[in-house]
Amino acid sequence: MPDFPRKARIATEAMRTLFEPTPLQRNEHLSAHYGAEIWLKREDLSPVRSYKIRGALNAMRKAVDHQDVFVCASAGNHAQGVAFVCRHFGVKGVIFMPITTPQQKVNKTRIFGGDNIEIRLVGDYFDDTLASARSYCNEVGAHFLPPFDDVDVIEGQASVAVEMLEQLGRAPDMVVLPVGGGGLSSGIKSYLSEQAPDTEIRYVEPAGAPSLTVAIAKGRPVTLDKVDSFVDGAAVARIGEENFKELKDVPANKILLAPEDRICSTMVEMLNVEGIVLEPAGALSVDALPDLAGQIKDKTVVCVTSGGNFDFERLPEVKERAQRYLGLKKY
């Protein structure tokens, strides 16, 4: 992506019209546990409790002068980002969400968008929702805002990396990223490859939705036959085409698969020990640390906690799955 760092910095400047940089916080608990310097880039503390506001703002700011109706499909976090930005620009947004979207995310999307948005619940899986949104967009001639498979969205998500390097004041030894459709990971990889080429990157996918793993193995994006929707913010059946252009050279051994039950134990630990509320996708980077323990000792590591939109009605299930992973329950 030529000239990508400059575009990512321009996108970062645009973010300041809506919110301050999200915190980069050294986590004492994790640092002590792993004998490393563990920092959390707290995207769960953005105005919409995820990084998705970044891609939405960057894409919409480039189109708002010639378009006043925007359409998106989202499992929740992209929807909230689009809703927030629609209200900011005073334009109409039609937001398609899977039927399985947690109610907390649906309600917050309505709050962020107010009278500027309309929500349509369609499809059991994200890819069905996406198809419906694209069809509607073509019918009415609106501007479609992809959740990840779009160069402007990728530029916007890269602003996470711009802020991180400025806040840390140096390049970290390693950055650990969650992967769903690839918007965040392709954006950060593009920026760091130019601005911090010595920084290692690890990519973490839900075990039940390994879209990047399969794409790397096949050499192209592949639609998964089955997806476990538990990690709803990253349960994507196919990595984005634009995203894979940047991620296609990722070594297979740099991709980690996080078991859903272990993710639950990480969520519970972060809540109980740190008071940090993470959704399943938001916990992916921290959840991978046990697998990286032998590689990160005495290193500076940044984990991107990508979202905190957790519906507490799911807490009993999360606690039960965590106990099952820890061997405290036998079923």
Taking the C-alpha atoms of residue 245 and residue 256, their distance in angstroms, rounded to an integer, is 20
Taking the C-alpha atoms of residue 156 and residue 11, their distance in angstroms, rounded to an integer, is 6
Q: For residue 118, list its beta bridge partners.
A: 94
CA angle, residues 69, 74, 76, in degrees to nearest 5: 115
Is residue 46 part of the annotated active site? The answer reads no
Which uninterrupted H or E stretch holds 165? helix 159-168
By C-alpha distance, which of 24, 87, 52 is closest to 187? 52
Is residue 306 part of the annotated active site? The answer reads yes
How far is C-alpha 99 from the geometric centre of its chain's CA atoms?
A: 20
Catalytic pick among 52, 105, 108, 189: 52
Instruction: Give the 3-state secondary structure of residue 291.
Output: helix
Taking the C-alpha atoms of residue 106 and residue 89, their distance in angstroms, rounded to an integer, is 21
Tell the burial category of 193 from Cβ atoms under 10 Å away from its Cβ (0-12, 13-18, 19+).
Answer: middle
Taking the C-alpha atoms of residue 282 and residue 48, their distance in angstroms, rounded to an integer, is 13
Give the DSSP per-residue string, 107-142: HHHHHHHGGGEEEEE--SSHHHHHHHHHHHHHHHTP
Catalytic residues: 52, 306
